[in-house]
A and B are shown apart, each in its own frame.
Chain A
Amino acid sequence: MAGTVLDYAIIVVYFVAVLGFGSLFGRFTKSTRDFFFGGQRFSWWLVAFSCLATTVGSYSFYKYSAMAFTYGLSSSMTYLNDWFWMPLWMFFWLPILYYLRITSVPEYFDRRFGPASRLAAVIILLVFMVGYIGINLLTLAKCLNVLLGWDIYFAAALVALVTGIYVMAGGQTSVIMTDLLQGALLLAAGLAIVLLGFSALGDGQGLMEGAAHFWRQLPNGHRLPFADFNRPAEFNSVGIFWQDAFANGIAFYFVNQGVIMRYLSCPSVKEGRKTIIFVMFVLMPLAAVAVSGAGWIGKAMEQAGKLQAPADPDNVFVAVAAALCKPGVFGLVLAALTAALMSTVDTLINAVCAVFINDVYQPYLKKNAPDRHYLQAARWTSIITTLLSLAMVPLFARFKSLYVAHGTFTAAVTPPMGVALLLGVFWRRFTPKAAFWTMLGGALAVLASFVWPWLITPLAHGTPMFPEDSAAHPVYTSYTYIRALYAIVVSVVIGIAVTWFTRPRPFSEIEPLTWKGLAAARRIFKGGEPNLAPGRKAYAQLMVTDSSGDDSTVELDSSAVERLAARSGDIIYIRDRRWWLGGLRSITARLSEKTAPAGVCRLGRLLAKEGYLERTRRVILEKVI
């Protein structure tokens, strides 16, 4: 199937817009802090959209539409089942990362457990992320091949080129800004298909009648938000719960370098928490509808005799989009698919750069170089990562087993690594040796389970080892979902057992790196006693001074200081009052002992320049700590 000229034109405009939009923000990147963490200045809503765009991959529309068509509303399980991690993520892991300025999971492992665990974590993360970029490129290339007839390698190279260029130019700032565009586009396209479906099902009687008709047409089993408990092997709720909510939940919220960097782009822990709440309770439910909608609508249309369902459910997204979308709208849907891919890949490229520069290049290859050197190295790393991932596309395309092997590898290493991390944060007694053996032993135990799947049977909750047509499935496809429970249990047992026989580090050394040490972490961050008195926002006119004694502080008038409940030495977030800039023009600075004239926020020239603040603007002030 191929699009019309209009669809092609929309795709081209989209590529040009993303490239231009992403590259535009290159000028906001002047340090590694900008390149990796966007200068820690972005508003919660901007980071939230970026998180959403990262979560929804190019395969999501295909995969979830197929599940939705076959199983109904229960296809939304994976988007709505990881809320229970929120207390641990919001209240502990996020503040530890932020206050200790930890830039990557390997760095945390180094500080909590030592260099051996750091090395293991670096290898695991780099192999996982580079392979994952390659798989995402291949997935989208296959989609574009089916939809537009483009050559797979041409499509992969085009997408990689566009993404690589803007990541190189603008790093995290470009990633977040383009993700806003892409997140909005993919949500809009997915939800548009649902509304068009209601319209088609309503036969011109309005959307509400169409929605009612949709609900009536869905078969009974399709209306339930949960699948059957333990059958079939391909889609059962207990397996998906352990695989997706637990293993992927740990991998996504605690280990995923891209996600960690995204939250660290916020100016404060409070802003990060706001982001988490918005993503979890607003954007994820919307995304669940957006990616599954075509499948639900397709089933209702099939029941109503308005759609000839494709033989292969994997093609239902294309069939429904083609049936509902007029030329032009179809182009937008294709652009949304591309957006889903690019917004996942750009995050991963930036994350690979961060791990490589912070955990390999800086500590081992080039110590104590100026920041400009590391920024240049990061730009080159982004290009090399893109090329390396692109080189993997023919490899993944040629050997199906390699594609599966990457999935197998991921399943084997991410749960043990996640367990080691969680035990490290929430159990102070957990020892460095135990962390190392949890990762290594856990991974080996999981790999063993691919050879001897019966190891998992006692924990399988009655799920079948193989799908019904088991003859077609090799041994490594056994227990697709419930293996995660086995991985978690084995890793926890190894961790506890090794800890029992080995000596922990003194609590005083590791306290800020654990749940018990948040107050200490705050003191380290601030370099003094934190001010936790609740304050309110204040507004002021920016005044930039050309010659200032101390260029790292901000002077405010007494009423603003009172409103903020601040005292000298506190860290203040200063941002341009225009909300739609999302914090792009902002900076954090320490409050000076000196007082500014009434209604004025006085700032040194260098600080204003670093925050891209314009001299004549009004600013909003918030106390960080």
Chain B
Amino acid sequence: MFSPWLSFWYQYLVGGALFLIGIFYIWRSGELKAGADGARGYYLILWLGLVGFWGLHLLLMLEGS
């Protein structure tokens, strides 16, 4: 059971790092401040999506372990 948990954390740590790089670029670009093309709403949805996927995977990991 250890190995799939390692897979879970590896994906969310490495993938999460790239996600945060993207978030860093969004902040630096000034897009949120400008608010173009619904930027603030979609920025929020991105975070919700990340939490949603993480929660779904965590739930399945706990249920399946």
A residues bordering B, Cβ < 8 Å? 73-74, 80-81, 83-88, 90-92, 95, 220, 222-231, 237-238, 241, 245, 268-270, 273, 277, 280-281, 426, 515-516, 518-519, 522, 530, 532, 534, 625
Contact = CB atoms under 8 A, between A and B. Distances in A.
A43 to B, nearest CB: 15
Given A87-B25, A229-B6, A280-B49, A224 B61 contact: yes
A229 B3 contact: yes
A223 B60 contact: yes
A42 B40 CA distance: 23
A91 B21 CA distance: 12
Contacts of A225: 8, 56-57, 60-61, 64
19 contacts: A81-B15, A83-B53, A90-B42, A90-B46, A91-B29, A91-B31, A91-B39, A92-B25, A226-B7, A226-B57, A231-B3, A245-B11, A268-B37, A273-B42, A277-B42, A277-B49, A281-B45, A518-B31, A534-B35
A91 B57 contact: no
Given A225-B61, A281-B49, A532 B35 contact: yes
B60 A88 contact: no
Contacts of B7: 226-229, 237-238, 241
A281 B22 CA distance: 18
B46 A224 contact: no
Q: 10 shortest A-B CB distances, which residue pairs?
A: A87-B22, A223-B64, A237-B7, A226-B7, A84-B19, A84-B15, A228-B3, A224-B64, A269-B37, A225-B60
A83 B50 contact: yes
Interface residues of B, number: 42
Given A88-B25, A224-B4, 12 more contacts: A80-B57, A84-B16, A86-B22, A86-B46, A90-B46, A224-B64, A227-B4, A227-B7, A277-B49, A519-B34, A532-B34, A534-B35
Nearest to B60: A225
A314 B53 CA distance: 29
Nearest to B64: A223
A87 B44 CA distance: 11
A53 B50 CA distance: 24
A95 B37 contact: yes
Interface string B48-64: 01101100110011011
Contacts of A518: 29, 31, 36
B36 A522 contact: yes
A86 B18 CA distance: 10
Contact of A229 (B10, B23, B35, B43): B10
A516 B45 CA distance: 23
Contacts of A231: 3
A96 B3 CA distance: 40
A220 B49 CA distance: 27
A107 B49 CA distance: 32
- Interface-central residue, A92, A229, A530, by most chain B CB under 10 Å: A229
Nearest to A218: B64
A241 B10 CA distance: 9
B18 to A, nearest CB: 5
- Interface-central residue, B35, B36, B57, by most chain A CB under 10 Å: B36
A91 B64 CA distance: 36
B55 to A, nearest CB: 12
Nearest to B47: A87
Contacts of B43: 91
B52 to A, nearest CB: 7
Nearest to B17: A84
B46 A515 contact: no
A273 B38 contact: yes
Contacts of B38: 270, 273
Given A237-B7, A237-B11, A245-B11, A226 B61 contact: yes
A359 B53 CA distance: 39
Contacts of B16: 84
A277 B53 CA distance: 13
A222 B8 CA distance: 15
A272 to B, nearest CB: 8
A270 B39 CA distance: 8
B25 A83 contact: no
A86 B39 CA distance: 13
A291 to B, nearest CB: 18
Given A83-B49, A245-B15, A270-B38, A237 B4 contact: yes
A87 B19 contact: yes
Contacts of A522: 36
B22 A73 contact: no
A85 B18 contact: yes
A547 B6 CA distance: 69
A270 B37 contact: yes
B41 to A, nearest CB: 9
A53 B59 CA distance: 29
A224 B49 contact: no
Contacts of A532: 34-36
A81 B14 CA distance: 11
Contacts of B45: 277, 281
